[in-house]
Amino acid sequence: MRHYEIVLIIHPDQTTDQILKIIKDYKQFIMQNHGIIHRLEDWGRRQLAYPIKKLHKAYYILMNIQILPIQINSLKEKFFFNEMILRNIIISVKNKIVTPSPMLKLQDDKIDKK
């Protein structure tokens, strides 16, 4: 099994419940295919660097998983056919990553300063 880092950019019109359902569906797919989720972060609604389909904001989700390469192709296909996902990127990494991402650390720092 290989390690992957996945970032999903989801349409901003989705409610929190819909976002949680999307995450739950992909978690179930990974678990059913004997994968392991090492890290799952919801970065929330953020400004896009450039407009995508005339949208300026979107929800960001980060996952670090371990799964068979054959199954990652099925996951790519699921992302492609889900209309709520504007963009996705899947990167192969050497080792599992379990530490919080810099984006999450920035959010925690902002909360601590308040």
CATH number reported for the structural domain that contains residue 26 in this entry: 3.30.70.60
Query: Are residues 63 and 40 in contact, defined by beta-carbon separation less than 8 angstroms?
Result: yes
Q: What pLDDT is stored for residue 44 in this prediction?
A: 87
Residue 64's nearest CA partner among 33, 32, 41, 31 is: 41
Q: Give pLDDT tens digits for 52-61.
A: 889 999 999 9
> Considering just the CA atoms, what is the radius of gyration of the chain in Å?
14
Domain count for the chain: 1
Q: How far is CA 51 from the centre of its chain?
A: 19
Domain extent at residue 7: 2-113
Q: Give pLDDT tens digits for 28-42.
A: 999 999 999 999 998
- For the whole model, what pTM was predicted? 0.84
